[in-house]
Amino acid sequence: MATFQSYPSLLSQQFAQSLVMEFMGVMLFQLLGGSAAAGWGAPVNGMALVVLIYTTADISGAHLNPAVSISLSMAGFFPVLHCIMYVLFQIVGAIFGALILSQLVPGMSIGMGDGGAGCFDRGMIPSNVTDAQIFWWEFFMTFTLISCVYNCCLGKPGHGSFTPLAVGLALFASAGSGGQFTGGSLNPARVLGPAAVFGCGANVTWLYVGGQCLASICAMAVFGLVSHLGPYHPRTSTKTFELMTNEAGFVWINGQAPLRLQTIGQDQDLKSFSQRQRDI
C-alpha cells in the first residue's frame, strides 16, 4: 500500500498541472480584482475568489494566495517544497495579471509608478492612515481569511462544497471593513504582482506582505492549538508513524515517505488529513 503520497512528486505531470492552475487562478484574480470599479473592490474580489476556488480546487487545492500556502505548509498540511513552488507560481501569475491590466486599462503603462491598476500604494491609502495601521489591518483581515480556510476545510465537521463561498465571504467582509484603510489586499501576490509591473508602493509593500505573513503564522498556531497540526508536521508524524526526527523532517519537506515505510500500510490517517486540504 502506498504511503505518504497524497501529494505527487515535484516532477510529476499532476503537480505541473497544479502549478498551472495556481498560476492561472492568481492571474485571473489579479485581472478581475485589480480592475474593479471604484466602490466595488470588496464584492468583486470576494465573488472572484469564490469563482476561482471552485474553478481550481479539484486540481491544485485552490490556494491562490502565498499566505495560505505558507500557513498550510507550516502547519503540516502541505509539503515545504510544494509550497515554495506554489508561492513562486502565484507571484508570477499576479505579475502576468498586472501586465495584462497595463494593456487593457486606459492610461496604464509599465513602470508608471503609484496609481497603477491593482496597486497598493500611498496614492490609494487615506493620508491619515499610519504605517502601523496598514500593517495591523492587513494582519487581522488576512488572519480572518486564513482562519476561515482552516476551519471550513480542515476542521471538523467541515463545510464541504460551501467552503469556497465561505472563504469568498471572508474576503468580502474583511475588505469591506479594513479595505477602506488599506485597499484590502490579504494576499502577498496581489501586492507584489503590480509592484513588479508598475513599480508602485515601494514604501508600503513590506507593510502589506509583513502583516499578511505574520497572520499566516498566527492562524496556523491558533488552529494547531484548538484543533490539530497536519500529518506532515514533525510533531504529528513522529508520533503517528513513529518516525525518527530526520525522517519526519524529510516527510515535511517533500511529502514522501522514508523508503522503509513505503510498503507499510500505516497511512490512512495521513491520507484522510491531506484529502481535506486538497478540497479547499
Q: What three-state secondary structure class fits 75?
A: coil
Please write the tens of the pLDDT for every residue from 19-62.
Answer: 999 999 999 999 999 999 989 999 999 999 999 999 999 999 99
Phi and psi at residue 40, in whole multiples of 5°? Answer: -110, 10
Please write the tens of the pLDDT for every residue from 130-142.
Answer: 999 999 999 999 9
State the Cα–Cα distance between residues 278 and 270, nearest whole angstrom. 12
* More confidently predicted of 5 and 65: 65
Burial of 165 (0-12, 13-18, 19+ CB in 10 A): middle
pLDDT for the residue 272? 47
DSSP string, 197-234: HH---TTTHHHHHHHHHHHHHHHHHHHHHHT---TTSH
pTM: 0.90
* More confidently predicted of 160 and 102: 102
pLDDT grade for 159, boundaries at 50, 70 and 90: low
Please write the tens of the pLDDT for every residue from 51-97.
Answer: 999 999 999 999 999 999 999 999 999 999 999 999 999 999 999 99
The predicted model gives 159-186 an average pLDDT of: 92
Residue with cell 508561492: 87
259 Cβ contact partners less than 8 Å away, ≥ 6 residues apart = none
Q: pLDDT at residue 238 above 60?
A: yes
Other C-beta atoms closer than 10 Å to the C-beta of 213 total: 18
pLDDT for the residue 259? 66
Q: Is residue 93 a contact partner of residue 30, using CB atoms and an 8 Å limit?
A: yes
DSSP string, 25-46: HHHHHHHHHHTPPTT-HHHHHH
